[in-house]
Amino acid sequence: MKIAMIGTGYVGLVSGVCFSDFGHDVICVDKDPGKIEMLRAGKVPIYEPGLDTLMARNVDAGRLSFTGDLASAVDGADAVFIAVGTPTRRGDGHADLSYVMDAAREIAAALTGYAVVVTKSTVPVGTNRQVRETIAGASPGADFDVASNPEFLREGAAIDDFMRPDRIVVGVENDRAAEVMADIYRPLYLRDFPVLTTDLESAEMIKYAANAFLATKITFINEIAALCERTGADIKKVSQGIGLDGRIGNKFLHAGPGYGGSCFPKDTRALARIGQDHGLPMQITETVIKVNDETRRRMVDKVMDLFDGRVAGRTITVLGVTFKPNTDDMREAPSLTVVPALIGAGARVRVVDPQGRREGEDLLPGVTWFDDAYEAAQDADAVVILTEWNEFRALDLKRLATRMANPAMADLRNIYSAQDAHRAGFTHYVSVGRQDQIAEAAKIATII
């Protein structure tokens, strides 16, 4: 199959590389000449483990190439994937479809034979029909079908998700388009990965419903964590206890500073707007958005409380600023709430993140960047763990504490325990949803 992938952002680049690894001929298109030049030089503009190696292998095999010329890529293609951004539209919360429709108009002018135009971007219900109308209106004689093929890639594990998916969702209107999509995904069909073929609207809705449900799980456990702190319960035990129920499952039940990233924030907002437009408010989703915002603000309070609310003049070291580990993505990261709040209160903030600096330097003005956690902790008054990178999961706490002017820790990912912190010499320790504070650790230590 010949595939044109329009857009080399996170979804487009990962999908294009993986399709080429299936054996298809893939041309990835982007309007940014600098990005195309970088890709042709073998450099990956995003951080995703294993993507650089996979990309190089398929470029060397002649199955993968990059261009800024959409017309040449679409010419003779069996399928044209639209994988451009659909950010939240400023002012109303809707998904901004301008990039999708611009791509549709350019594709219409470039089609030379039958092709399936596949929307891989996350789009509201009804968008694929708009894409079809846009192409038909711009090129009345064009021979094409449209399909919806939402992505379910987790940043940091995207290649594995693509190659070993929980499911593949394909929305089509006829058998002809379904056959093309089956040919594209044949390697996964043959390995018996679940493939769900639906109508266009159902495929579009599945993506939003899935992300909203996962965001709800995260937000629910964070709200229970706040209640655990008031009642004396332990959120780790509570999460384990409910996660063992097969109807609930243990994924996305880790208390922390709230969800972020490129998908959950914009998709929950978009779903809320879709409901409002149809006269059916998505009350659960709207509450999830509200509670997630409150969770982030509560994390700021946790850090401030280490100093009785007065952080002016204090030096605070923040470990991790990307929204999750194994990515360089800063979009909607909790750090974008926590760090500016601390700086605004007068704190001096140091930051360590294995991949976050490239985006973070513009997004977090006023911080000082370090490459090493121990150097960043020198003479600091507190350490805040915001992202659970592996290198922060196995810190030498004693070494960390001895370097600090005031050994205090806000462990907002529940990596350690008050016992660990107390034995290492920390005088203050707070976590999320646990009665796991330094005072309790001191009592335990006397018994042990």
Is 278 annotated for ligand binding?
A: no
Is 331 annotated for ligand binding?
A: yes
Is 155 annotated for ligand binding?
A: yes
Is 266 annotated for ligand binding?
A: yes
Is 153 annotated for ligand binding?
A: yes
Q: Which of 18, 28, 228, 263 is catalytic?
A: 263
| Whether residue 263 lies in the annotated active site | yes
Q: What are phi and psi of 263, to 5 degrees?
A: -110, -65
Q: What are phi and psi of 251, to 5 degrees?
A: -80, 145
Given 3.30.420.40, 1.10.1370.30, 3.30.300.160, 3.40.50.720, which CATH number is that of 199-448? 3.40.50.720
pLDDT value of residue 436:
62
- Please, what are the averages of pLDDT over each run of 10 residues along the chain (448 residues)? 96 98 98 96 94 97 97 97 92 89 97 97 95 96 97 94 96 97 94 95 97 97 96 96 96 96 93 95 97 96 94 97 95 96 97 95 96 97 97 96 96 95 95 75 42
- 254 Cα distance to chain centroid: 16
Which residue ranges does the chain devote to CATH 3.40.50.720? 2-198, 199-448
Determine how β-strand 315-319 pairs with β-strand 115-119: unpaired
Is 122 annotated for ligand binding?
A: yes
Is 256 annotated for ligand binding?
A: yes
Is 154 annotated for ligand binding?
A: yes
pLDDT value of residue 90:
81
Distance CA 431, CA 307 (A): 15
Residues in the chain: 448
Q: Which two tokens stand for residue 2?
A: 């010949």
* 290-to-2, 159, 261 alpha-carbon distances in Å: 44, 32, 16
Is 411 annotated for ligand binding?
A: no
Given 3.40.50.720, 3.40.50.620, 1.10.150.130, 3.40.190.290, which CATH number is that of 2-198? 3.40.50.720
Is 30 annotated for ligand binding?
A: yes
- Asked whether the CA dihedral 359, 156, 389, 215 is positive or negative, the reply is positive
pLDDT value of residue 68:
97
CB-based contact 136:155 (threshold 8 Å): no
Distance CA 82, CA 29 (A): 10
Q: Which two tokens stand for residue 96?
A: 């901004």
Is 35 annotated for ligand binding?
A: yes
**E strand residue ranges, 37-119:** 64-67, 79-82, 115-119
